């Protein structure tokens, strides 16, 4: 393989969306019922920094769950993110703290948790409204303890 071809392969690989190490089920209990999602786990610093950047689509029912243990003030942004998202900030006890709906693709505007949170669930924009997900609803996943 020529040096130019090798560089092209390497560049294509670097621009490909990264995938988190594991996929796990997550449930959100709302007034309208329990909604199940399949989430990629973002636990390493690299996974948390990359998140859903460079992805061109995110199917309904899929998402990414960021682990920011211990509970802390969390700041996110949409740099290099092509698709609008709903960001669901979750406290350590599994209760939803805040939802940032329909975030703006490519924006470097800081999106804050607005308080102490353990994790962030990113799903396709419109998910919170579609399923009636609201602050105070409970998220069931091993990351969160029931208190």
**What phi and psi values does residue 5 have, to the nearest 5 degrees?**
-65, -40
Question: What is the per-residue pLDDT for 145?
Answer: 84
Of 33, 143, 146, the residue nearest 88 (C-alpha): 143
H or E stretch at 92: none
* Position 128 pLDDT exceeds 70: yes
Express each pLDDT in 84-127 by its tens digit. 999 999 999 999 999 999 999 999 999 999 999 999 999 999 99
Q: What's the topology of domain 19-140?
A: Jelly Rolls (2.60.120)
CA distance 64 to 120: 8
pTM: 0.86
């Amino acid at each position: 393989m020529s040096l130019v071809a090798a560089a092209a392969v390497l560049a294509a690989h670097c621009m490909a969306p990264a995938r988190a190490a594991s996929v796990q089920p997550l449930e959100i209990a709302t007034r309208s019922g329990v909604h199940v999602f399949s989430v990629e786990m973002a636990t390493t610093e690299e996974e948390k920094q990359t998140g859903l950047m460079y992805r061109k689509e995110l199917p309904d029912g899929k998402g990414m769950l960021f682990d920011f243990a211990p509970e802390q003030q969390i700041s996110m942004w949409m740099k290099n993110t092509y698709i609008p998202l709903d960001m669901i900030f979750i406290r350590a006890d599994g209760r939803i703290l805040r939802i940032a709906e329909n975030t703006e693709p490519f924006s470097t505007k800081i999106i804050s948790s607005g308080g102490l949170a353990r994790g962030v669930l990113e799903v396709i924009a419109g998910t919170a409204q579609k399923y009636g997900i609201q602050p105070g609803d409970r998220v069931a996943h091993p990351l969160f303890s029931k208190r």
